[in-house]
Structure 1
Amino acid sequence: MLQFHYIHHSCFTLNDGKTTLLFDPYLDGNPEGLGPEDIKADVIFVSHYHGDHLGSAYAIAKANDALLVSTAEIANDAASHSLRSYAMHLGGTHRFPFGRVRITPAFHGSGIAGGHACGFIVEFGGKTVYFAGDTSVFGDMALLSRLEKIDVALLPIGDNFTMGPKDARLAAELLAAPLVIPIHYNTWPVIAQDPAAFKRDVEATTHSKVEVVEEGSTLDL
């Protein structure tokens, strides 16, 4: 069974009982008090180079000898820090021992010269999970739902820096994922949102169900 553990902000893990995937490991202020030394991961995904997403990725990768997967600019930067990395880019797919990965566009700043923010669609543990990263809603989310049969969509709802709840509701409709999990909200006052209201709106107007996962909690997918 695939387990989703929400640390906070956009940081979470997926675990299939053998392998742990870690996404955007920004740990500052997480309710479990986790530090880089507490995190065990085999593979680390980084959607872009902003501090609240790159976070402690390099420290965790070094401590675990983990593979860091990202766009070429970030992967190359990680390699320059003597870390194991694998470079991909928008539209590319690759099959790893743990599963298959597609890099998707994300409309946001990259935080690194020459780069582009991204999201990930990961086939892992019998599920296909879409982590949108920091992004606005964009029409080609409908194309993603044609390219991949997405089971779970992790969507930012904080607004200001990313899409807000109304736009994320449209994203859920375009993606047609059976399950949506909101992320990237309530970390700071500027991205304060009501996830329960988002859940009501999505479930009333789309075919998706919404699971609001508390920070520090685990959900079986």
Structure 2
Amino acid sequence: MKITFLGHAGLLVEGAGKKIVIDPFLSGNPLAVMKAEELKADVIVLTHGHQDHSSDAAAVALANDCPILAVVELASLIGKSGAKTVGMNTGGTYQVDENIRVKLTPAFHSSSYEIDGVVHYAGQPQGVLLTIGDQTLYHLGDTALFSDIKLIGELHRIDIAAVPIGDHFTMGPDEALIAAKWTGAKHIIPIHFNTFPPIRQSGEQFIARLAEQNQQGHELQPGQSVEI
């Protein structure tokens, strides 16, 4: 499994001959190094509807003729663009092919999606368990710390987790350390920080604190990758 950080909370995950994109936010992202039109995808997965997670999803899906997996209300809204969508809900699993499956998990946040200046309710926010072969990535989505993260870690063998650390809109570094530990993952990618002033955090300090609890952190800059 190869994971490339797209910036903010966006990931490009490659494995089993497929490219899965989670939460593409490139247009309007001051730290992004890739343009939306350069992004290749076989499947797009959205954690929720906020524009810093979904703004490029429809354009990328249309350009690549690939589906967007999202909670059913968001899938319905984004489908108005003409993009192919697959509506799911919390706890549900979608089998992409025999080697790849996507499972949605709870996340504590909010979600809306804007169409022509009108803001619409976009269902419950989600986390994502992406399994490729025998490896699993847990993208926590935008979330506060909540105890079921521990249950998710106990029910699934998670190899790597993408954990928000920015505070203000999500959990901060202290809670993120707890969440990271609860996932049981050996590898942690901090996400959702430093894109905008309210979410400034030290990724270096967070990585050092992860090491104290025997987890390997990967502070990726946009465009950088890690393989597990």
Which of the five TM-score ranges fits, normalised by the shorter chain?
A: over 0.9
- The answer on 1:175 being equivalent to 2:176 is no
1:77 — aligned with what? 77
Structure 1: runs of 5+ lacking an equivalent: none
1:136 — aligned with what? 144
1:53 partner SS:
helix
Pair 113,32 (structure 1): closer, same or farther in 2 beyond 3 Å: closer
Give the counterpart of 1:145 among 139, 153, 175: 153
Identity of aligned residues (%): 33
Q: Deviations over 1:1-33 (max 9, x none)?
A: x21111110111001262100111111235554
Q: Distance in 1 between matches of 2:30 and 2:168?
A: 21
2:202 — aligned with what? 194
2:62 — aligned with what? 62
Q: CA RMSD in A?
A: 1.5
Q: Distance in 2 between matches of 1:183 and 1:114?
A: 22
TM-score (norm 1): 0.94
Size of the aligned set, in residue pairs, is 219
The one-letter amino acid paired with 2:225 is: T
2:10 — aligned with what? 11
2:215 — aligned with what? 208
Aligned-pair distance for 1:35? Answer: 2.1
1:103 — aligned with what? 104
- The answer on 1:124 being equivalent to 2:124 is no
List, as ranges, runs of 4+ consecutive aligned residues in structure 1 with deviation greater than 4 Å.
none
- Contact 2:49-2:122 at 8 Å conserved across structures: no
2:225 — aligned with what? 218
- Contact 2:34-2:223 at 8 Å conserved across structures: no
2:172 — aligned with what? 164
Pair 118,137 (structure 1): closer, same or farther in 2 beyond 3 Å: same
2:128 partner SS:
strand
Q: Distance in 2 between matches of 1:45 and 1:160?
A: 24
1:86 — aligned with what? 86
Pair 58,173 (structure 1): closer, same or farther in 2 beyond 3 Å: same
Q: Which moved more, 1:73-82 or 1:210-219?
A: 73-82
- Contact 1:181-1:211 at 8 Å conserved across structures: yes
Aligned-pair distance for 1:79? Answer: 2.6
1:38 — aligned with what? 38
Pair 54,209 (structure 1): closer, same or farther in 2 beyond 3 Å: same
Pair 89,32 (structure 1): closer, same or farther in 2 beyond 3 Å: closer
- Contact 1:7-1:30 at 8 Å conserved across structures: no
TM-score (norm 2): 0.91
